[in-house]
């Protein structure tokens, strides 16, 4: 095992898969000589050249379309969004082409495409740079969606996504790139459809993903000192949702809290609640609690920004209320 930063774990994943497969290449704004906005592709152009590490114009719809076309012809493109919010400019290509072509071609084309980049609420990045796009893309048929949260799962998920024959969106949180953690010194892959059991417990199931994993664990540290025993699940896979892991936990705890940075209306939590209420309502001893961001554009002001998202003290209060 060796310790590395999350951004470097992603870089290692790209490097390793490009070494193994000459059809893998990466494209996006400033991914080449600049090394990417968060240094995920730093110096890779020296090793692989300016075609496989391809700098593009500021034209998201154009280079997304080019990536999808190249995937149809047998290449395995990785698109880096300088900020995932900018990929809304390519929403048509992602939804009407990437998600649909396998189906509308009668299975004649696979789209082995990875779309990845920074997203989430940063620190005073303003509304257009602090969007949470999980819910936007969750509704698109044909996509797989994952959200990394540690250097270990970041590298393993990206390697699995590059090898998958379907379009995969990998959400990386802008505030987690400098997170340091252990990764194995051997080759490994993380499945794209499985949640991670972060902590076993008996009292309540807390489901979360991405940066909120760390807010939850801060809350859990406080709760354990008070004698509570929460179970924590990191979703990782946002589409498909690993509902079996949540249900397995609910069979023990019978109580569920969902913590997300996504907006409350139509978010990931909303989908989980719908599935649980439709199929596993009998497992619940109390209503599900949903802790989500406010349904407003993220303010630039630091205090207002903080007020829009969930923090550990709110999670602690919700657990205490639920178990009182």
Q: Which residues belong to the active site?
A: 60, 129
- Which of 295, 304, 245, 4 lies closest to 135, judged by CA? 295
Find the helix or strand (DSSP H, E) in which 239 lies. strand 237-239
Asked if residue 323 lies in contact with residue 204, where contact means CB atoms within 8 angstroms, the answer is yes
302 CB burial (10 A radius; 0-12, 13-18, 19+)? exposed
235 CB burial (10 A radius; 0-12, 13-18, 19+)? buried
Locus of tokens 């240094």 = 39
Omega before residue 272 within 30° of 0, cis: no
Helix (H, G, I), strand (E, B) or coil at 52: helix
Question: Distance between CA atoms of 127 and 112, rounded to whole angstroms?
Answer: 31
Q: Which residues of 32-52 are buried (b: 16+ CB within 10 A; e: fewer)?
A: beebbbbebbeebbeebeeeb
Question: Distance between CA atoms of 10 and 156, rounded to whole angstroms?
Answer: 9
Q: How many alpha carbons lie under 13 Å from residue 271 in its C-beta half-sphere? A: 20
- Which of 288, 287, 289 lies closest to 310, judged by CA? 289
Locus of tokens 């209320």 = 321
- Which of 320, 318, 314, 316 lies closest to 293, judged by CA? 314
């Amino acid at each position: 095992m060796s310790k590395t930063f999350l951004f470097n774990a992603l870089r290692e994943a790209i490097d390793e898969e490009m070494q193994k497969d000459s059809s893998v290449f990466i494209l996006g704004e400033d991914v080449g000589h600049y090394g990417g906005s968060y240094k995920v592709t730093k110096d890779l152009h020296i090793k692989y050249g300016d075609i496989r590490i391809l700098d593009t114009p500021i034209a998201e719809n154009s280079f997304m379309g080019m990536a999808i076309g190249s995937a149809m012809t047998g290449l395995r493109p990785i698109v880096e969004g300088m900020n995932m919010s900018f990929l809304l400019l390519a929403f048509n290509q992602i939804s009407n082409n990437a998600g649909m072509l396998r189906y509308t071609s009668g299975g004649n084309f696979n789209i082995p495409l990875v779309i990845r980049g920074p997203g989430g609420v940063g620190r005073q990045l303003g509304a257009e740079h602090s969007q949470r796009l999980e819910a936007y893309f969750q509704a698109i048929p044909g996509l797989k969606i994952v959200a990394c949260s540690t250097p270990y799962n970041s590298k393993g998920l990206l390697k699995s996504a590059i090898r998958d024959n379907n379009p995969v969106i990998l959400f990386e949180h802008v505030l987690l790139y400098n997170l340091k953690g252990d990764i194995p010194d051997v080759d490994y892959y993380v499945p794209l459809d499985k949640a991670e059991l972060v902590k076993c417990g008996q009292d309540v199931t807390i489901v979360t993903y991405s940066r909120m994993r760390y807010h939850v664990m801060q809350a859990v540290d406080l709760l354990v000192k008070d004698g509570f025993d929460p179970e924590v699940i990191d979703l990782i896979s946002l589409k498909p949702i690993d509902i079996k892991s949540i249900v397995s936990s609910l069979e023990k705890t019978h109580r569920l809290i969902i913590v997300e940075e996504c907006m409350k209306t139509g978010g990931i939590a909303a989908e989980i609640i719908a599935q649980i209420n439709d199929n596993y309502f009998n497992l619940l001893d109390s209503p599900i609690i949903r802790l989500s961001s406010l349904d407003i554009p993220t303010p630039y002001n630091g205090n207002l920004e903080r007020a829009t998202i969930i923090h550990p003290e709110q999670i602690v209060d919700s657990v205490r209320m639920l178990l009182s």
